[in-house]
């Protein structure tokens, strides 16, 4: 951090600018990352000069990278990696490696004309930074276009997951290769990677034997602020431990997230830290914009625009070609390529890291950041163009007999699963019935004991408060086909229903209710269907009595249906 610490007025200006960027530019559908960078340019020394010393804010901005890496680790549970291992470790790894190699070759071309070879660490920083894409931007586009369920959508998500995983070795390589040792040493690189692997193993073991019971203890206290405090402590504390051990704080935060990824608390942790992550990451990109020198764009616009087009074409070609090699049809492969063709958040992180290690001057960093920002700005247009080209190719190459591939879809990844809010006896029975019908589900409950017991018995249950929109976002509510609210608390059920309606207004929601009064309130709040327990129990008991008295089963069901309709009608009348 700057010697004098950040100036209060500069921090206030930074916060105000971040809020305005998120509000106004967001309404114009500008990607958040780009909006923050543009805002930073506007308030920085090169334009308005509202913040004259961006370096004084570097310490605060670096926390944004720490929380970004923590969130990436938190989103990488082992079962998710295993479910799409072919696309992740095959297609994803190939995309990162081939893009890195291609960029490296381009960077070494000037050496053919007498220039010095670039530093290997600089090649890794630039090539690695450009090889990765913007997860936030791509996932948002896939969601808006309802293409997450498509096979190319799942392949795209798999590539993005591998790119997230690649952050760790790239950070390690840059740090080791930029060390004080003279020259490039394979031994130093090997030792650095071994050190990183050892740190991952230690923190993952710590997550299993220390963090899991610790989070269980705190969550069991039913004090939300303590849970949030523990989440902050783990993210920042393990980051500080990693920094003390000679690694970066961001890498430590990533490992902390990875340690929590396979625990039932990850969704609640993600929801609790989302505001901190969003704000601090926004501040990081605003500071990137403030430090950005636009002179290269004004002095050499053709060169900068040409590099941007080259980057998009290179990444789209590599990813699209690999998509074909891994079994995608030509049209979907084109869509995959155009979706991951932009630079991402890590490009800016890598540029800052390279400057910190003295590998890159500010001019080169500005060119790299401008190219990254322009590629992000062009993403919606590139994706739309890719969709048009894909449809054109599909119309001429698609074989109708090959359009469906039975057995290849993973139902959980396809987004066709049921979310159960509340996992008591009712929620458990619902899960058993869904499982018997081969319908995938995911359950949320705010009781650590209920979740621990359910997971021990093999149920897909997670700790989290379903009343919180942030928790619902973390379990990807937009990819859910149906929500069943099995909570026995009417206010909690109403709050959950409102949270679901806030995020996905047209989501089908079935809600459990105790009686007709509760059913009336839930219907008014927007429930698709309500099941009042008292009425259903009475009907089932009466039906059993009628059958034992010799009534025909069809007559019994008809009578019960009539009384059910009367009960539902009466529940809709005002008091």
Is residue 379 domain-shared with residue 423, that is, in the same domain?
no
Is the pLDDT at 558 greater than 60? The verdict is yes
Q: Considering the chain, what percentage of its residues have pLDDT values greater than 70? A: 80
Is residue 386 domain-shared with residue 422, that is, in the same domain?
no
Higher pLDDT, 117 or 156: 156
Is residue 342 domain-shared with residue 421, that is, in the same domain?
no
Is residue 383 domain-shared with residue 449, that is, in the same domain?
no
Is residue 398 situated within a structural domain? no
Q: Give the pLDDT band of residue 102 (cuts 50, 70, 90).
A: very high
Is residue 252 domain-shared with residue 360, that is, in the same domain?
yes
Is residue 59 domain-shared with residue 201, that is, in the same domain?
yes
The CATH number of the domain where 564 resides is what?
3.40.50.720
pLDDT, one tens digit per residue, over 331-375 is 889 999 999 998 887 888 888 888 877 888 878 888 888 898 888
Is-contact 394 331, C-beta < 8 A?
yes
Is residue 198 domain-shared with residue 323, that is, in the same domain?
yes
Name beta bridge partners: 444. Answer: 421, 462
pLDDT, one tens digit per residue, over 296-342 is 888 888 998 999 999 999 999 999 999 999 888 888 899 999 999 98
Is residue 471 domain-shared with residue 357, that is, in the same domain?
no
Q: Does residue 534 sit in helix, strand or coil?
A: helix
Mean pLDDT of 191-208: 67
| Sequence-ordered alpha helix ranges (H) in 378-443 | 379-397, 411-414, 425-436
Is the pLDDT at 537 greater than 80? The verdict is no
Is residue 170 domain-shared with residue 288, that is, in the same domain?
yes
Is residue 439 domain-shared with residue 379, that is, in the same domain?
no
Is residue 29 domain-shared with residue 166, that is, in the same domain?
yes
- Bridge-based pairing of strands 417-421 and 461-463 is unpaired
The domain in which residue 544 lies consists of 417-571
Q: What is the predicted pLDDT for the residue at 407?
A: 39
pLDDT, one tens digit per residue, over 394-420 is 777 654 433 334 433 444 454 568 999
Mean pLDDT of 516-523: 79
Is-contact 316 341, C-beta < 8 A?
yes
Mean pLDDT of 540-547: 73
Q: What is the predicted pLDDT for the residue at 575?
A: 46
pLDDT, one tens digit per residue, over 241-277 is 777 766 667 777 888 888 888 788 888 888 888 888 7
Is residue 1 situated within a structural domain? no
Sign of CA dihedral 390, 393, 396, 400: negative
Is residue 412 situated within a structural domain? no
Is the pLDDT at 428 greater than 80? The verdict is yes
Q: Give the pLDDT band of residue 483 (cuts 50, 70, 90).
A: very high
Name beta bridge partners: 512. Answer: 531
Is residue 334 domain-shared with residue 445, that is, in the same domain?
no
Mean pLDDT of 474-486: 87
Q: Give the pLDDT band of residue 195 (cuts 50, 70, 90).
A: low
Is the pLDDT at 291 greater than 60? The verdict is yes
**How many structural domains is the chain composed of?**
2
Largest CA distance in the chain: 100
Is residue 407 situated within a structural domain? no
Q: What is the predicted pLDDT for the residue at 313?
A: 95
Mean pLDDT of 127-146: 79
The CATH number of the domain where 204 resides is what?
1.20.1530.20
Q: Report the mean per-residue pLDDT for the chain.
A: 79
């Amino acid at each position: 951090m700057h010697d004098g610490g950040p100036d209060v007025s500069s921090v206030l200006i930074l916060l105000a600018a971040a809020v305005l960027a998120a509000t106004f530019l967001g309404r114009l559908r500008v990607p958040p990352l780009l909006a923050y960078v543009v805002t930073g340019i506007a308030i920085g020394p090169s334009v308005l000069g509202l913040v004259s010393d961006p370096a004084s804010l570097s310490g605060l901005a670096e926390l944004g990278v720490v929380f970004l890496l923590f969130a990436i680790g938190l989103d990488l549970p082992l079962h998710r990696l295993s479910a799409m291992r072919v696309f992740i470790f095959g297609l994803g790894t190939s995309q990162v490696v081939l893009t890195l190699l291609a960029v490296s070759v381009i960077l070494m071309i000037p050496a053919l004309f007498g220039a010095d070879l670039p530093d290997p660490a600089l090649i890794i920083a630039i090539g690695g930074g450009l090889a990765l894409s913007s997860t936030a931007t791509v996932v948002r586009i896939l969601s808006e276009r309802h293409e997450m369920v498509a096979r190319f959508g799942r392949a795209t998500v798999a590539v993005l997951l591998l790119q997230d995983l690649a952050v760790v070795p790239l950070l390690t390589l840059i740090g080791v290769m930029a060390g004080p040792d003279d020259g490039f040493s394979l031994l130093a690189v090997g030792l650095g990677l071994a050190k990183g692997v050892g740190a991952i193993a230690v923190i993952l073991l710590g997550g299993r034997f220390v963090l899991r019971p610790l989070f269980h203890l705190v969550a069991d206290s039913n004090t939300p602020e303590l849970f949030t405090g523990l989440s902050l402590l783990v993210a920042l504390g393990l980051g500080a431990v990693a920094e003390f051990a000679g690694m970066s704080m961001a890498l430590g935060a990533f490992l902390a997230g990875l340690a929590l990824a396979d625990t039932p608390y990850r969704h609640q942790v993600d929801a609790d830290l989302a505001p901190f992550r969003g704000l601090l990451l926004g501040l990081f990109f605003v500071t990137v914009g403030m430090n950005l020198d636009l002179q290269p764009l004004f002095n050499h616009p053709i060169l900068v625009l040409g590099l941007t087009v080259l980057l998009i074409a290179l990444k789209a070609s590599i990813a699209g070609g690999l998509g074909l090699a891994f079994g995608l049809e030509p049209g979907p492969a084109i869509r995959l390529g155009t979706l991951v063709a932009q630079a991402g958040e890590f490009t800016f992180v890598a540029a800052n890291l390279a400057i910190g290690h003295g590998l890159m001057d500010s001019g080169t960093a500005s060119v790299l950041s401008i190219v990254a920002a322009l590629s992000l700005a062009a993403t919606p247009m590139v994706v739309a163009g890719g969709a048009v080209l894909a449809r054109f190719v599909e119309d001429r190459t698609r074989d109708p007999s090959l359009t469906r591939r039975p057995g290849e879809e993973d139902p959980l990844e396809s987004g066709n699963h049921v979310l159960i809010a509340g996992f008591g006896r009712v929620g458990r029975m619902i899960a058993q019935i869904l499982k018997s019908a081969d319908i995938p589900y995911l359950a949320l409950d705010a009781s650590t004991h209920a979740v621990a017991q359910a997971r021990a018995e093999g149920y897909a249950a997670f700790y989290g408060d379903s009343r919180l929109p942030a928790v619902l976002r973390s379990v990807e509510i937009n990819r859910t086909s149906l929500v069943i609210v099995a909570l026995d608390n009417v206010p909690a059920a109403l709050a959950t229903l409102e949270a679901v309606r806030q995020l996905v207004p047209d989501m089908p929601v079935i809600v459990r209710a105790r009686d007709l009064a509760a059913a009336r309130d839930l219907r008014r709040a927007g429930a698709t269907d309500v099941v009042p327990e008292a009425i259903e129990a009475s009907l089932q008991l009466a039906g059993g009595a009628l059958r034992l008295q010799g009534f025909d089963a069809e007559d019994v069901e008809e009578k019960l249906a009539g009384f059910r309709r009367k009960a539902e009608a009466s529940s809709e009348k005002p008091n």
